[in-house]
Amino acid sequence: MTTKLFGEPIPRREDPRLVAGAGRYLDDIDEPGQLAAAFVRSPHAHASIVDIDVTGALEVDGLVAVYTYEDLAGPLAQPLPLLIPHPSLRAARTPYPLAKDRVRHVGEAVAMVVATDRYLAEDAAQRIRVTYQPLPPVVGLDAASKAGHLVHEDVPDNVSAHLVQEVGDAAAAIAAAPHRLHLELHIERSASMPMEGRGVHARWDETDRSLRVYSSTQTSTSLRFALAAKLDLPVDRVEVVTPDVGGGFGVKIVHPWPEEVLVPWAAIRLRRPVKWAEDRREHFISSAHERGQQHSVDVGFDDDGRLLGLSVKFLHDNGAYTPYGIIVPQVTSTQLPGPYRLGAYRVEFHSLYTNTVQVTPYRGAGRPHGVFVMERTMDAIAAALGLDRTVVRERNFIQPEQMPYDQGLIFQDGRPLVYDSGDYPAALRLAKKLVGWDEFTAVREQARAQGRRVGIGIACYVEGTGVGPYEGAYVRVETTGKVVVATGLTTQGQGHETVFAQIAADQLGVPVENVNVVTGDTRRFAFAVGTFASRAAVMSGNAVAAAAGKVRAKALRIAGEALEVDPADLSIVDGVVSVKGTPQAAIPLASVAVLANPLRYAFDEQAKQATQFAVGGGIHRPPVAEDDEPGLAATGYYSPVRSTFANGVHAAVVETDPETAEIRILRYCVVHDCGRLINPRIVQGQVHGGVAQGVGGALYERIVYDEHGQLLNASYMDFLIPYASEVPAIEIDHLQTPSPLNPLGIKGAGEAGVIPGAAVLAAAIEDAEGIPVHRMPICPSELWELRNADHR
Amino acid sequence: MAEPMHEVALTVNGVPRGAAVPARRLLSDFLRHDLGLTGTHVGCEHGVCGACTVLLDGEPVRSCLLFAVTVDGAEVTTVEGCRSADGGLGPVQQAFQDCHGLQCGFCTPGFITTVTAYLRENPDPDQEQARDAIGGNLCRCTGYQNIVASVLRAAQLQRGGAG
Amino acid sequence: MRITGEAGLRAPAGEVFKALHDPEVLVRTIPGCRRLDLVGPDSYTMVVHAGVAAVKGEFAGEVRLSDPDPPHGFTLHASGSGAPGTVTATVDVTLVEVDGSTVVSYAADAEIGGMIGGVGQRLLGSVATKTAAEFFAAVDAEMTGAVGPAAVEPTRAEPAQKRSFVAPVRPRPAPATFLAGAIVGAAAALLGALVGGLVATRAGRR
């Protein structure tokens, strides 16, 4: 392939639309006769529903319908799907679309109101009186594991899942080790918090009995199948279209949400378009959260700091339901080892129910917790032995020549966790250089002399990306010479319109401006998985390359026939197929597209070239050969045997205020290796955004429940997403270790920036303060408490 | 329980517009759903995120915190009105593309209106001032670094530099 | 769906039974009733403006009373259809006299289809209960004289066997805008018929 566009930081093709206010997000869809939905949600964390009195809602002019569980029938009256079953998930529970008899978290939907506009729907919702019998709530991992009260009556220990993986005999290795440490480490709950909440718009066409659903989702294809099943419709009568999506970060991969099935269901019943756009408070209390885990670590190591055995037991708070199975704790448990040879490793987790919002992946999806645990352990070993923290890491790194490296674990895709490639020592060397690690001792001392406290931290990670099972793409050259690319996975700001166009344009030898990319529209491409786990570039990127490669081969064949030359002697440049070295012997790709579709009817001037009396060829063979298809088009799929593994190192310098305990990030450095870069500018943007979320997760953001299960900070005023003033300038260096697993040599980049955030900032604060930091996030008052505790 | 309606007439992006709305209609909803100007986005509904920022008589305001009836007779500029005179992208819009100052694009309209107003008063900000200028808007995608660069680039474009 | 309820009327059972079979009373008391035509013994056609909340419109329907057991009860069969949907209902009505007053109990088994059937059971039930209450209150007022004679006399548009009763124009209280349930409730009363689905509503709004 040519490499003209691949690797170029070209500007994004989606931007002219988005910067002009011409994007089309879910709530931008308005059409005549449209109704609006609002939801009555539980104010209790745990309660029985005694009665629902809707009489008051009748006073609202514009009210159209009120639905409760009793209105649901058939598959819709069943719990929502368990999306990712796993043998260890022994007590999976998923919610009903509307609560049946019992609510298990504040925010669970109890009734749905439909009215002529959203204001009126909310008026009516407020007038519905639900009588609850409150039940004792289970909040926090301690309460959940004590199981004094139960979230689900039939789950006696509140445990949804229990999983152990062990490589070697960790207990024996630790017992026999010359040095041992025990650590208790905590990560608190946070949430994806995209700027745009969830939203659904549905339109039912009674004439042809078809449903079109727009959803702000990370998977349109799977939502389509889920809707067909839940609404008992043939799949080909359901289309799901993803409009512009205002961020996802994991929360929108869950599907079908209660609202996602109820809004289309209401549209069918009412024969009117219905829309629901989530408001910010709803998003806090009724979508999904992540992160909250408690880890108990035992590690054994030798005099040089080499790991001999690591045993980690942790508790994972999965909230009230488990629609996404055990993915988050499973990823934590398997990505925790990072770039290190562990010796023996045992990991055991219990996933526990609490009366809180369900927990499903948020960017990083379990990795930030695992990296926090591993890297805190590395720092503890260094401290115990009086070694430089980077030296301990270097001594434990898997070396490049050991690739592919099998960690002996089963990954989230059910396949062996085998690192495909990477140069961890090189990444660390780059990071040390970038941040000035070796010179920092002097910096620290100098600052101390001035009464300032500064500290440096470093954290390494390995990230499984590009998880299967597959993605596909359709590529067609139109008779105008324009190229249409469709892939089924969705886009929430990753620049897919640009990077997939770069790949297709390179393959086909056309200007990138001539390529139009569509994602997340089941009308255009039906088979896909979704956008999550840093997989889009790897999966759809390679699928686009595969489809475009087939189109290229076909174009060369047809052009070869037309020009009467060997296709091997042809090249395509700027949309023209020509004989290498003889550029005057040429045919535009547009004309090849015409010839690729034998015609009877000359519907336009161009079409005449392809009609039956215009084309040559033998009269004794079919116009379309048996192994061919009409059109200069092809579909390609990419299905890897296993995930690729990106890696990186972050280093940060912080300053803490001796008086106020305020924490300021002075420098934040990133070395990132995601294989070959399709568009460095976009990868850099992904890293920036990830780091901002990592900083938020380390210093500002947390979801706070009180003992009653009330979410105390369900607004942007209290859940502190960093502003520009809180996010430091980010310095980036890239390594490019191509993945051997796919033709493009790429690995995913979407989550990398966020993963080591808590680990690296905890390390830097610890270094500045000289006090162990075992719990993140940390705010100034908590640091102040730590100082006080340390002095006692 | 029908709500009394109020005529609201104002100038939006230089064009006289109007509609009859209830007194409680938020300016953001009025612009989006009554006037069809959906470029203005609503991220938090309580004035924190800044996605809904529009210019009211030239000053940035949170349109989710204003009732439409309170701006009768005013002049409002939304992101749709930040184009250049020839209909192409305005300098701030162009700068955001040039510097990859957006990803999902949801918060972007609020940044573009905010920066447009800021640069009118401060046509030549330095790096730190550029960061301060966007200090009241939330972005969940970009980490702000490229938005800061976009502010500087926009200033450059407005001064006529091609860069 | 099943809708049950009861109402107390301040008149002996015999009078209540009679009132519930008197088209002139019914046309005045059935919420939203625009027109009531007697088409046979205890058999009526009706036009009711009804609907649930914003789903409303004219329903045309038939009501038939059967199994009369004066003054203890009767059964009402109602069916109606209109732009908002369709309603068929069977309503068992029981009258029990206590100290000169009457407790009317009704149990309706209603099938509600079309758009109006899609608005949710609790909403329908709530509207029905409310409309039935409104209906019985109106009947009670008729019998106790709490309300004077209607401002407009019912019109008798047709000869004996086919008489029409047109409801007087009167302002309705704002909240009474519902129907479906209403219908059912009312149906119970006889209205039941109308029940059909209907519900009284603010005529002429929207």
Q: Please report the domains of chain C, with CATH numbers, ordered by start residue.
A: 2-195 (3.30.530.20)
Domains delineated in chain A: 31-135+192-286 (3.90.1170.50), 293-467+641-791 (3.30.365.10), 469-596+631-638 (3.30.365.10)
- For the segment A81-97, the average pLDDT, to the nearest whole number, is 97
Residue A73 near residue A67, CB atoms below 8 Å: no
- What are the residue ranges of CATH 3.10.20.30 in chain B? 5-81
Identify the closest residue of chain C to A267 by CA–CA distance: C118
pLDDT for the residue numbered C117: 83
Determine the pLDDT at residue A639: 96
Task: Dump pLDDT digits (tens) for A527-563.
Answer: 999 999 899 999 999 999 999 999 999 999 999 999 9
Distance CA A166, CA A186 (A): 22
d(C-alpha C197, C-alpha C78), whole Å: 9
The model's pLDDT over B2-19, given as tens digits with 9 standing for 90+, comes to 789 999 999 999 999 999
Chain B partners within 8 Å of A28 (Cβ): 32, 38
CA distance A95 to A254: 13
- Residue in B43, B50, B25, B23 with CA at minimum distance from that of residue B35: B25
Tally of CB atoms within 10 A around A583: 11
Helix (H, G, I), strand (E, B) or coil at A773: coil
Q: Contacts of residue B153 in chain A, CB cutoff 8 Å?
A: none
Evaluate whether A241 touches A522 at the Cβ level (below 8 Å): yes
C-chain CB neighbours of A67 within 8 Å are 120
Closest CA to A355 of A163, A161, A148: A148
Q: Is the pLDDT of residue C205 over 70?
A: no
Measured between CB atoms, does B48 come within 8 Å of chain A?
Answer: yes
Average pLDDT, stretch A371-395?
98
Q: How confident is the model at residue C160 (pLDDT cuts 50, 70, 90)?
A: very low
In this structure, are residues A482 and A511 in contact, taking their beta carbons and an 8 Å threshold?
no
Q: How far is A221 from A504, CA to CA, in rounded Å? A: 22
Please report, in angstroms and rounded to a whole number, the separation of the first and last CA atoms in chain B. 59
Give the DSSP letter of residue B72: T
- Does residue C163 carry a pLDDT above 70? no
Considering chain A, what is the average pLDDT of its residues? Answer: 96
Confidence band, pLDDT 50/70/90 cuts, at residue C194:
very low
Give the model's pLDDT for residue A728.
96
Most confident of A389-393, A612-616, C3-7, C46-50: A389-393
- Considering only A98-112, A573-587, C129-143, which range has the smallest mean pLDDT? C129-143
Residues in chain A, total: 792
CB A67 to CB C178 under 8 A? no
Residue of A35, A50, A66 best to disrupt the C interface, most CBs of C under 10 A? A66
Q: What is the pLDDT of residues A459-483, one digit of tens each?
A: 999 999 999 999 999 999 999 999 9
Burial class of A31 by CB neighbour count within 10 A (0 to 12, 13 to 18, 19+): exposed
Q: Which of B102, B103, B126, B153 to mutate to test the interface with A (most CBs of A within 10 A)?
A: B103
Q: Is the pLDDT of residue A422 over 60?
A: yes
Write the residue in B103, B108, B138 that is nearest to A685 by C-beta: B103
Residues of chain A with C-beta less than 8 angstroms from the C-beta of B140? 193-195, 247, 249, 689, 692-693, 721
- Residues A626-646 have a mean pLDDT of 95
Do A331 and A365 meet the contact criterion of CB atoms below 8 Å apart?
A: yes
Residue found by looking up tokens 């500018």 in the block? A681
Q: To 10 degrees, the CA torsion angle through A152, A153, A158, A160?
A: -60
Task: Please give the biggest Cα pair distance in chain B.
Answer: 59
Torsion of CA A743, A744, A745, A747, to 10 degrees: -120
pLDDT value, residue C173? 32
Proportion of chain A above pLDDT 70, given as a percent: 99
Residues belonging to chain C with any Cβ–Cβ distance to chain A shorter than 8 Å: 52-55, 115, 117-123, 126-127, 129-130, 174-175, 177-178, 205-206
Cα–Cα distances in angstroms (integers) from residue A266 to residues A24, A41, A112, A274, A586, in the given order: 23, 18, 9, 7, 57
Cis peptide before B91 (omega within 30 of 0): no
> Which chain B positions have a beta carbon within 8 Å of A59's beta carbon?
1
pLDDT at C151 over 80: no
pLDDT in tens, A522-532: 999 999 999 99
Bridge pairing between strands A159-167 and A730-735: unpaired
Q: Which of A556, A571, A557 is nearest to A509 (CA)?
A: A571
Q: How many CB atoms lie within 10 A of CB A602?
A: 15
- CA dist., res. B73 & res. B1, Å (int): 28
> SS3 string of B93-159?
HHHHHHCCCCCCCCCHHHHHHHHHHHHHHCCCCCHHHHHHHCCCCCCCCCCCHHHHHHHHHHHHHHC
Q: Hey, are the CB atoms on B1 and A61 less than 8 Å from each other?
A: yes
Rounded Cα–Cα distance for residues A653 and A447 (Å): 12
pLDDT reported for residue A301: 98
Interchain pair A58, C126: CB under 8 A: yes
pLDDT for C162 = 52
Query: Is there a cis peptide before residue C68, judged by omega within 30 degrees of 0?
Result: no
Tokens of C41: 């013994």
Q: Which candidate, A370, A366, A393, places its Cα nearest to that of A457?
A: A393
pLDDT at C154: 38
Residues of A in contact with C117 (CB under 8 A): 269
| From-to residues of CATH 1.10.150.120 in chain B | 83-158
Of the candidate ranges A11-20, A208-217, A284-293, C77-86, the one whose mean pLDDT is the lowest? C77-86
pLDDT at C186 over 70: no
Closest CA to A276 of A195, A194, A214, A230: A214
pLDDT given at position A747: 95
Residues of chain A above pLDDT 90, percent: 94
pLDDT band at C113, cuts 50/70/90?
Answer: confident
What per-residue confidence (pLDDT) applies to A630? Answer: 96
For B45-102, how does the pLDDT look when each residue is reduced to its tens digit (9 = 90+)? Answer: 999 999 999 999 999 999 999 999 999 999 999 999 999 999 999 999 999 999 999 9
Would you say residue C206 has pLDDT above 60? no
Total residue count of chain C as it appears in this document: 206
With tokens 């319109």, the residue in question is A497
pLDDT the model gives residue B161: 64
pLDDT band, very low/low/confident/very high, at A617 (cuts 50, 70, 90): low
Ranges assigned E (strand) in A478-559:
483-487, 515-519
- CA–CA separation, C147 and A68 (whole Å): 39
- Out of C53, C122, C175, the one facing A64 most closely (by C-beta) is C53
Contacts of A15 in chain B (CB under 8 A): 96-97, 102, 105
Contacts of C177 (CB under 8 A, 6+ apart): A58, A61, C51, C53, C56, C199, C200, C201, C202, C205
- Determine how β-strand A238-241 pairs with β-strand A210-215: parallel
Please give the structure tokens belonging to residue C65. 């009373």
Cα distance between residue A349 and residue A336, in whole Å:
13
Rg of chain B over Cα atoms, rounded to whole angstroms, equals 16
Phi/psi region, residue A422 (left: phi>0; alpha: psi -120 to 50; beta: rest), is left
How far apart are the C-alpha atoms of A52 and A113, rounded to whole Å? Answer: 13
Q: What's the pLDDT at C200?
A: 30
CB–CB of A194 and B41 under 8 A? no
**CB-based contact A760:A460 (threshold 8 Å):** no
pLDDT category at A606 given cuts 50, 70, 90 is confident
Based on its alpha-carbon atoms, the radius of gyration of chain C, rounded to whole angstroms, reads: 15
List the end-to-end C-alpha distance of chain C, in Å, as a whole number: 28
Q: What is the mean pLDDT of residues C179-199?
A: 36
Average pLDDT, chain B: 96
In chain A, which residue's Cα lies nearest the Cα of C55?
A64
Cα angle C148-C154-C158, degrees, rounded to a multiple of 5: 165
Of A764, A226, A674, the closest CA to residue A464 belongs to: A674
DSSP string over A449-498: HTT-EEEEEEEEEEEEES-SS-EEEEEEE-TTS-EEEEESS--SSS-HHH
Q: Higher confidence at residue A619 or residue A615?
A: A619
Quickly list DSSP for A172-203.
Answer: HHHHHSSEEEEEEEEE--B----SS--EEEEE
pLDDT at B162: 55
Q: DSSP letters of A12-35?
A: PTTHHHHHTT---BGGG---TT-E
| A62 or C85, which is more confident | A62
Do the strands A644-656 and A453-465 form a parallel or antiparallel pair, or are they unpaired?
antiparallel
Q: What is the ipTM of this complex?
A: 0.97
C-alpha distances in Å from residue A187, one per residue of A149, A243, A605, C41, C186? 24, 34, 66, 78, 60
Q: What distance in Å separates the CA atoms of residue C13 and residue A244, rounded to the nearest whole number?
A: 66
Are B143 and A723 within 8 A, CB to CB?
no
Question: Does A434 score more than 60 pLDDT?
Answer: yes
Q: Is the pLDDT of residue C157 over 70?
A: no
| Sequence-ordered alpha helix ranges (H) in A64-140 | 118-126
Q: Whole-angstrom Cα distance, residue A522 to residue A228?
A: 13
Domain B5-81 in CATH 2.40.50.100? The answer is no
Which of A763-772, A773-782, C91-100, C127-136 shows the lowest per-residue confidence on average (mean pLDDT)? C127-136
Tell me: pLDDT of A710 over 60. yes
Which residue, A293, A290, A228, A285, is CA-closest to A255?
A: A228
What kind of fold does domain B83-158 have according to CATH?
DNA polymerase; domain 1 (1.10.150)
Neighbouring CB atoms inside 10 A of B16's CB total 8
Mean pLDDT over the full length of chain C: 73
Distance CA C164, CA C147 (A): 22
Q: Read off the tokens for A713.
A: 């900070």
The type of residue at A342 is L
